[in-house]
């Protein structure tokens, strides 16, 4: 029997506890998860793809279950190269579903052997996104319990710490 390899793709700009929760939920289901960091400069990321890959690897790499790679282009082509057949996507709210459903159907059309599995993070993280993390941090909000300390350190190094608005 071949290994059940799943790919969890995203920008991870930056990774947060909702992402880590999804990865943890994959452990009993898959033999290996490849966290695939998207190389897409059109999104104008805060962190470079190398920084994002390193950040994710610091948090989940090295245990034999999870590895981190970057990719560009079509996800299904990346999956073919690494021998994966399952895409893992997190759904925070109903509003995520329409876009994710369209992407799942397109990926299936591009490669009928690819399946998409939708997972929900813990309720504590159901509203959390990388965009919100950056916005809250930028306005001096408290992100304790929402991102790992190493991510807070990197945000501070990149954005500096701002005081909350008066």
19, 25, 67, 134: which one is catalytic? 19
Round the average pLDDT of the chain to a whole number and report it.
Answer: 92
Helix (H) / strand (E) element for 60: namely helix 49-60
CA–CA separation, 133 vs 150, rounded Å?
14
pLDDT at residue 84 is higher than 50: yes
What is the tens place of the pLDDT at every residue in 39-82? 987 778 999 999 999 999 999 987 889 999 999 999 999 999 99
Percent pLDDT > 70 in the chain is 95
Residue 2 has pLDDT above 80, yes or no: no
Q: Which of 36, 1, 32, 39 is nearest to 19 (CA)?
A: 36
CA 73 – CA 44 distance, rounded (Å) = 16
Catalytic choice (4, 39, 92, 108): 92
Q: Which sequence spans correspond to the domains of the chain?
A: 5-159
Q: Is 92 a catalytic residue?
A: yes
Give the C-alpha separation, 47 to 154, whole Å: 9
Residue 22: both structure tokens together = 């999804």
Q: What is the pLDDT of residue 150?
A: 95
Exposed / middle / buried, residue 128 (Cβ in 10 Å: 0-12, 13-18, 19+): buried
> In this model, does residue 166 exceed pLDDT 50?
no
Measure the CA–CA gap between 27 and 133, rounded to whole angstroms.
25
Report d(CA 62, CA 8) in Å as an integer.
Answer: 17
Position 161 scores a pLDDT of 65
Say whether pLDDT at 36 is over 60.
Answer: yes
126 phi and psi angles, rounded to 5 deg: -65, -15
The secondary structure of residue 28, as a DSSP letter, is T
Residue in 27, 43, 81, 158 annotated catalytic: 43
Fold of 5-159: Rossmann fold (3.40.50)
Predicted pLDDT at 162 = 52
Number of H helices, E strands in the chain: 6, 5
43 is known as an active-site residue: yes
Q: Residue 27 catalytic?
A: no
User: For residue 43, what pLDDT is reported?
Assistant: 75
């Amino acid at each position: 029997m071949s290994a059940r390899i799943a790919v969890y793709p995203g920008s991870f700009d930056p990774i947060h506890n909702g992402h880590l929760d999804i990865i943890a939920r994959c452990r009993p289901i898959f033999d290996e998860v490849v966290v695939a960091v998207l190389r897409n400069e059109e999104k104008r990321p805060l962190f470079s793809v190398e920084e994002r890959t390193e950040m994710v690897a610091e948090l989940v790499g090295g245990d034999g279950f999870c590895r981190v790679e970057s990719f560009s282009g079509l996800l299904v082509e990346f999956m073919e190269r690494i021998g994966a057949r399952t895409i893992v996507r997190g759904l925070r709210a109903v509003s995520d579903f329409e876009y994710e459903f369209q992407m799942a159907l397109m990926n299936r059309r591009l490669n009928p052997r690819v399946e998409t599995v939708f997972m929900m993070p813990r309720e504590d993280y159901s509203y959390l996104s990388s965009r919100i993390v950056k916005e809250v941090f930028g306005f001096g909000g408290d992100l304790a319990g929402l991102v790992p300390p190493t991510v807070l350190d990197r945000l501070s190094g990149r954005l500096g710490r701002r005081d909350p608005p008066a």
